Amino acid sequence: MNISNNIKFADIVFEGGGVKGIGLVGALKAFENNDYCWKNICGNSAGSIVAALVAVGYCAEEIKKLMLELDYTKITDKSHFNIPILSNTLNLLFKKGIYKGNYIENWVDEILSYKLKLTNKNKVTFGDLIIPEENGFLLSNKKYKRKYKLHIIATDISNGKMIILPEDIAEYGINPDDLQVSLAIRMSVSIPYFFQPVILNNINTNKKSFVVDGGVLSNYPVWLFDVNGVPRWPTIGFKLGGNKEIREHKITNILNFTSSIIETMLEAQDDIHIKEMDFLRTVKINTLDVKTTDFNIGSKEIIDLYNSGESCAKDFLKNWDTDYKRYQMLRSNSFK
């Protein structure tokens, strides 16, 4: 990233959205060109992958290259026993998801370790992403630490709750510093029915929890870095599909029925549910009618999504100074 003397600090939150997450990278490029440097980073689902890459030091151009090189068809990894329809049904019944999700977890391990040039271990943990001498906390709760540069959202459906990683992993008997970033991402990208959930064994209670996509409860956690009073720097959110009309889904079989459920769950979060304050700090990225689960996406669509993200971010930045003043005014009024 080219950083000038006009460096601007901000926290950043990336929404989830499957393969549409490529648009997040283009938006990131526009902010890099305007000398932004990210302090705390959060992501959900596909946004958790982009968030982790940014946290270890990848710039937008490097992430774009990785996205172009990634074989998206391998993301839908099945077991060796693979008979069309039958294997899908069996995986849904017995594994709670069609695809294993191992490919994406291993890919993330590889690219994170490469960037940090780890020599004594293969997997990056949250302990590798601690901000020195940072003593702040999140959500007015001393449990959640700003010292972790990266936070990832997932959903524990066994206990019916959102989990904020790495801190909430302590409830399962695991030290947050030791949690592997790729495992947290694997939890966060586990789109229900499509990917098999991560099963966490609670060391303290010996009970199992099924963990899936954070978007089940909060696909756009732009609130995570909010503080009481005046923030040290703004939080900016990247939201996918902001300019796209909700599409009609054609349902003819159990697979596209399942797909339609997921698309509706992750995409049909109407903008009316976002507070006016959050609109002002949200980059709404036009995802060009690409579906969350379009795993057959080609290089042209990848480039188009990237360019769309960059264009939308440029438009956002034109009015950001004015919008942020408006945000600060609304925020101060909300505390009166």
CB 47 within 8 A of CB 17: yes
What is the DSSP secondary structure assignment for residue 75, as one 8-state letter? G
Look at strands 193-195 and 97-99 and give their pairing: parallel
Q: Decide if 213 is catalytic.
A: yes
Residue 254 has phi, psi (to 5 degrees) of -65, -30
Choose, from 45, 190, 209, 308, the residue flagged as catalytic: 45
Task: Retrieve residue 60's tokens.
Answer: 């937008």
> Is the C-alpha dihedral spanning 205, 208, 211, 217 positive or negative?
negative
CB 43 within 8 A of CB 51: yes
Q: Provide the strand spans (E) within the chain.
A: 8-14, 36-44, 97-99, 137-138, 141-145, 150-156, 161-165, 193-195, 198-201, 208-213, 235-240, 282-285
Residues 6+ apart with CB under 8 A from 47: 13, 14, 15, 16, 17, 21, 24, 238
Nearest-CA neighbor of 148 among 123, 178, 126, 172? 126
Cβ contacts of 302-305, under 8 Å, gap ≥ 24: 302/22, 302/67, 302/68, 303/68, 305/20, 305/22, 305/23, 305/26
Q: Decide if 259 is catalytic.
A: no
Choose, from 109, 156, 168, 213, the residue flagged as catalytic: 213
Q: What are the residue numbers of the active site?
A: 45, 213
